[in-house]
Amino acid sequence: MRWLAALLTLVFAAVLTTPAVDAQRRGGDPKLAARKNPAPATPASITAGRALYNKNCRHCHGIRGTGDGPLAPSKPKPANLTDATWDHGGSDGEIFAIIWNGAPPTDTEMKPMKGTLTERNVWDIVNFLRTLGKPGTAKPAAKS
């Protein structure tokens, strides 16, 4: 009977992780790209996002978001959040998914923030990240 409980636990875990892995594929995801940011990019949201970024992201992505933080691994280097290249898609929904679910371990050491941050926290970080790029810089999904 214990083996049945263990098997069911494994199956359940596999089902739960499948959408997260799918959400993290390179080149973006049209389903995630269609997800709208429910947090308006107000000064308050951006300020909250900056504080959350400084606490949770800056140590790897750096103060300016260029991937040069003091704890940044050299291989693979953390993403440059100021350029137009977003390997897993550059829409708000795709960026949310990467922060929430983490990135595939083969691509990066970025861990999921689900359980550490609230959904609203992550949307505030997304709003802050939009202020890091050069004005007029688009954030398209990278082509595979």
Q: Is the residue at 94 inside a domain?
A: yes
How high is the pLDDT of residue 45? Answer: 97
Encode the chain (144 residues) as per-residue pLDDT tens digits. Answer: 665 555 445 544 444 444 444 444 556 677 888 899 999 999 999 999 999 999 999 999 999 999 999 999 988 889 999 988 888 888 999 999 999 999 887 777 889 999 999 999 999 999 999 999 765 444 444 433
Q: Is the residue at 19 inside a domain?
A: yes
Q: Is the residue at 139 inside a domain?
A: no
Number of structural domains in the chain? 1
Cβ–Cβ under 8 Å, residues 129 and 49 = yes
What is the pTM assigned to this prediction? 0.74
Q: Is the residue at 41 inside a domain?
A: yes
Structural domain including 55 reads 2-129
Q: Is the residue at 15 inside a domain?
A: yes
Burial class (CB in 10 A: 0-12, 13-18, 19+), 86: buried
Q: Is the residue at 12 inside a domain?
A: yes
Q: Is the residue at 119 inside a domain?
A: yes
Helix, strand counts (H, E) of the chain: 6, 0
CATH of the domain at 54: 1.10.760.10
